[in-house]
């Protein structure tokens, strides 16, 4: 008998015993009759009531020892079948093991694919990605460079946003070089205020119109944010 057969038999026997006990609890006089029959059987075999515990204990120990021996033999038989290289079970295990090892070796042989050389995304573009775009759109727009303002007049200081398209820096007020779209000023002003107000910035006045300027905080253009979020159009 297989080990699983023993387990199934024990479970079935336990269920039957529980049902039997519940039936006896409903009929106490049956319990008395069963006790008398139990004692009578031992009496017929010459066992007095005082000797019953010793006899039952000895039989039980012999039964447990026999069951242990059977289970050990079953486990030994399974182990021998696994160790036998000609057994179907061992061949199946070997095939699975070889398949796993082959997959592991194939993964080691895979060379990492070449990484495309992509120019670093500026802080400005990265911020725009976080608030609006997906990676592909942000990477595609990384090639767009900010205008070269290195040779123009530079006004440095703490920027203060005073309107949807107006800022103040170093006691000078500038209009940003954008054209606000109708109805967008109310949305643009709090976004600029929250994002740039109180930060160090650089503004580059337009030589043709000193009251207008391009302003940059770090590498993030203030006008660029308005344009990218659809609040304004470039001039």
Question: Which segments within the chain are labelled E, that is strand?
Answer: 155-158, 160-161, 166-169, 172-176, 178-180, 200-206, 209-217, 220-221, 232-234
Most confident by average pLDDT, 105-114, 139-148, 207-216: 207-216
How many CA atoms lie within 13 Å of 199's alpha carbon, on the beta-carbon side? 18
Give the per-residue pLDDT at 83.
66
pLDDT > 70? residue 201:
yes
| Nearest residue to 124 via CA among 215, 185, 194 | 215
Token pair of 161 as six digits: 């946003």
Lowest-pLDDT range of 43-52, 112-121, 167-176: 112-121
Lowest-pLDDT range of 56-65, 112-121, 149-158, 188-197: 112-121
Give the per-residue pLDDT at 116.
43
Give tens-digit pLDDT for 1-37.
Answer: 456 677 878 888 888 888 878 877 777 777 777 778 8
What average pLDDT does the segment 113-131 reach?
48
Q: Which residues contact 138 (CB under 8 A, 6 or more apart)?
A: 121, 125, 126, 128, 129
Give the per-residue pLDDT at 88.
64
Band (pLDDT 50/70/90 cuts) for residue 135 is: very low
DSSP state of 47: -
Coil, strand or helix at 199 = coil
DSSP lists the bridge partners of residue 156 as 202
Dist. CA 224–CA 203, nearest whole Å? 13
pLDDT > 90? residue 67:
no
Q: Which contacts (CB < 8 Å, 24+ apart) does range 219-222 have? A: 219/122, 219/123, 219/124, 219/146, 220/123, 220/124, 220/127, 221/124, 221/146, 222/159, 222/167, 222/176, 222/192, 222/196
Backbone angles phi, psi at 173, to 5 degrees: -110, 130
What average pLDDT does the segment 88-108 reach?
66
β-strand 220-221 against 209-217: which pairing, if any? antiparallel
Share of the chain above pLDDT 70, in %: 68
What average pLDDT does the segment 65-80 reach?
75
Lowest-pLDDT range of 97-101, 120-124, 175-179: 120-124
Give the per-residue pLDDT at 8.
77
pLDDT > 70? residue 150:
no
Give the per-residue pLDDT at 148.
54
> Which residue ranges form the domains of the chain, and what is each CATH number?
3-109 (no CATH), 146-234 (2.40.50.90)
Give tens-digit pLDDT for 215-228.
Answer: 999 888 999 999 99
């Amino acid at each position: 008998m297989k080990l699983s057969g023993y387990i199934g038999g024990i479970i079935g026997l336990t269920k039957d015993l529980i049902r039997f006990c519940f039936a006896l609890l409903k009929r106490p006089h049956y319990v008395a009759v069963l006790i008398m029959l139990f004692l009578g059987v031992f009496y017929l075999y010459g066992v007095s009531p005082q000797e019953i515990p010793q006899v039952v204990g000895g039989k039980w120990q012999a039964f447990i020892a026999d069951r242990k021996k059977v289970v050990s033999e079953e486990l030994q038989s399974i182990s021998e079948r696994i160790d036998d290289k000609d057994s179907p079970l061992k061949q199946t295990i070997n095939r699975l093991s070889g398949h796993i090892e082959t997959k592991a070796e194939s993964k080691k042989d895979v060379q990492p694919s070449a990484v495309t050389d992509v120019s670093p995304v500026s802080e400005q573009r990265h911020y725009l990605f976080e608030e609006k775009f997906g990676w592909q759109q942000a990477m595609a727009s990384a090639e767009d460079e900010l205008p070269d303002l290195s040779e123009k007049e530079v006004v440095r200081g703490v920027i203060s946003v005073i309107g949807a398209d107006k800022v103040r820096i170093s006691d000078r007020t500038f209009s940003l070089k954008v054209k606000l779209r109708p109805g967008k000023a109310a949305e643009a002003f709090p976004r600029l205020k929250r994002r740039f107000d109180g930060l160090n910035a650089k503004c580059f006045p337009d030589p043709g119109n000193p009251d207008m300027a391009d302003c940059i905080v770090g590498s993030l253009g203030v006008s660029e944010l308005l344009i990218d979020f659809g609040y304004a159009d470039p001039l």
